[in-house]
Chains A and B, each alone.
Chain A
Amino acid sequence: GAVVSQHPSWVICKSGTSVKIECRSLDFQATTMFWYRQFPKKSLMLMATSNEGSKATYEQGVEKDKFLINHASLTLSTLTVTSAHPEDSSFYICSASTRRANQPQHFGDGTRLSIL
């Protein structure tokens, strides 16, 4: 089956630093990638949708300048949490999809981000 690799799986960093999370589709061309956020014991909330070669579309309430998304190729999207603060601590999950509507999204294994 399709494989999506997300890296790192866990990161701890100091408040004020920026953290980059990578999402790679390993065996298919991901024209669209999605970034979700999950708080402990909560559901997944869609943060943004990125299409290869164009600007990401952010959901309402998600700060564009805080969460920078780049989707420069058909196999790689990155999420950069800028000037991270403790309230940004969360579990971030990416998923990848092709343009075919009947294909499911393929999820990465997620990144646990802890800001001290």
Chain B
Amino acid sequence: AQTVTQSQPEMSVQEAETVTLSCTYDTSESDYYLFWYKQPPSRQMILVIRQEAYKQQNATENRFSVNFQKAAKSFSLKISDSQLGDAAMYFCAYRIYQGGGADGLTFGKGTHLIIQP
């Protein structure tokens, strides 16, 4: 079974600073997807960024980037120029790739990100 581990229950960062959220996973599969989701107090799940395991290049989306280390099974999220609106729970998630979209996500326990003004 696949597992996703987020070792930081809570992180705090000053506004405009950079913060990195950690995520490791365990899988025997070679093809899979990794995601970071943001869940603000509204509890809506918002996709922040995703990474295909077969791609060596790290994904980036504006201020958000990942450091994907496939051999180490590590998938950290870096948020640059932190903004107050970034405050939320962040979940790392894994999904196996089986040639279709018919697989559920396995989530980590989440990291509560606090942005200090």
Contact = CB atoms under 8 A, between A and B. Distances in A.
Interface string A88-116: 00010101011111111101011000000
Given A43-B110, A109-B43, A109-B44, A99 B104 contact: no
Interface string A65-93: 00000000000000000000000000101
B43 A110 contact: yes
Nearest to B4: A43
Interface in B17-52: 33, 35, 42-45, 47, 50, 52
B108 A43 contact: yes
Interface residues of B, number: 25
A31 B102 contact: yes
A19 interface: no
B77 to A, nearest CB: 16
A105 B110 CA distance: 18
A13 interface: no
Contact of B101 (A46, A100, A107): A100
A32 B105 contact: no
A95 B35 CA distance: 15
Given A34-B105, A45-B107, A46-B106, 10 more contacts: A43-B91, A43-B108, A43-B109, A44-B45, A46-B104, A91-B43, A99-B102, A100-B100, A101-B98, A110-B44
Interface of B: 33, 35, 42-45, 47, 50, 52, 91, 95, 97-110
